[in-house]
Amino acid sequence: MAIAFDHHLHTPMYFFLMNLSIVDLGSISVIVPKSMANSLMNIRSISYAGCVAQVFFLVFFVGADFSLLTVMAYDRYVAICQPLHYEAMMNSRVCVLLAAGAWISGILYSVLHTGNTFASTFCGDNMVDQFFCEIPQLLKLACSDSYLSEIGVLAFTVCLVLGCFVFIILSYVQIFKSALRIPSEHGQHKALSTCLPHLTVVSLFVCTGAFAYLKPTSSSPSALDLVVAILYSVLPPVMNPIIYSMRNKEIKAALRRLTGWRFFTQE
């Protein structure tokens, strides 16, 4: 809301940040409210349709989130490494197309994963050893022989995520090189203050997600599975607002103008 209503923030970086905040809000709303409601009411159940919806929207928001983080890494690369060409390369049309591509990729990715998962036949007691409907835990309950489709989807996922991750790493390597050439320490700090936390969250997201989806599923639940699920599904949406908003003077100034709260003071 602060970005939408404040014309000072109508720039490519904040446009992508607005999209990221929407995705993060959706991502954390898919699993946390349901798990909290189950905990408060002391129940451990979810309908089949609810499980399908949870898988679809979680994969959709997580996929769009990672795509937007990739786009934002490219935006920062152009801004810092090619500042003279920034306005031409990141004009409004390009920004809209990049954001639309991130959302569409999340939808396609979600349709692929959800369709492949629930095309399987489930049997047994239908107990999912997790606080939400997680795909690896659901596949443990599958009776049908769907290994070939699972391997195909998994290979596609690994290639897609690895490609985006390598692109992000290469973008930040170039950003760090350019930042180190900035003569003033203040300029270096400003260029790196957001990049390092961003890279940390992306690395944590990729590593924990890969561990959750690539490791062999055990027959019994473990505390490690729960921790890993929290790290890739809950932690990034919680950390992104802190990295991009609460540490950003322009965002805090916009919030102060929007709400009049003195809490958002400039440091």
Q: Where residue 195 sits, what CATH number does that domain have?
A: 1.20.1070.10
Is 36 among the domain residues?
Answer: yes
Kindly indicate the confidence band of residue 137, based on its pLDDT and cuts at 50, 70 and 90.
confident
How much is the pTM?
Answer: 0.82
What digits encode the pLDDT tens for the residues 26-43? 988 888 888 888 788 887
pLDDT of residue 186 exceeding 70, the answer is no
- The answer to whether residue 131 sits within a structural domain is yes
Q: How many domains does the chain have?
A: 1
Is pLDDT above 50 for 267? no
Residue 264 lies in a domain: no
Listed ranges 69-78, 151-160, 199-208, 234-243; the one with the highest mean pLDDT: 69-78
The Cα–Cα gap between 40 and 31 comes to: 14
Helix, strand and coil percent figures for the chain, each rounded to 5 = 80, 0, 20
Q: How confident is the model at residue 196 (pLDDT cuts 50, 70, 90)?
A: confident
Q: Could you tell me if residue 208 is inside a domain?
A: yes
| pLDDT value, residue 147 | 54
Write b or e for each residue in 49-84: b if 16 or more Cβ atoms lie within 10 A of its Cβ, otherwise e.
eebbebbbbbbbbbbbbbbbbbbbbbbbbbbbeeee
- Report the alpha-carbon distance of residue 192 to residue 174 in Å, rounded: 12
d(CA 150, CA 112): 11
Contact assessment for residue 3 and residue 244, using Cβ atoms and an 8 Å cutoff: no
Q: How far is CA 206 from CA 19, 28, 47, 164, 258, in A?
A: 20, 17, 29, 10, 35
CB neighbour list of residue 44: distance below 8 Å, 6 or more residues apart = 38
At residue 98 the predicted structure's pLDDT band, cuts being 50, 70 and 90, is very high
Q: Does residue 262 lie in a domain region?
A: no
Residue 261 forms part of a structural domain: no
Q: What burial class does residue 91 get, using C-beta atoms within 10 Å of its C-beta: 0-12 exposed, 13-18 middle, 19+ buried?
A: exposed
140 within some domain:
yes
The domain of 75 spans 2-256
Q: Does 30 fall in a domain? A: yes
Q: Which residues are paired to 142 by β-bridges?
A: 122
Paired tokens of 184: 């003033």
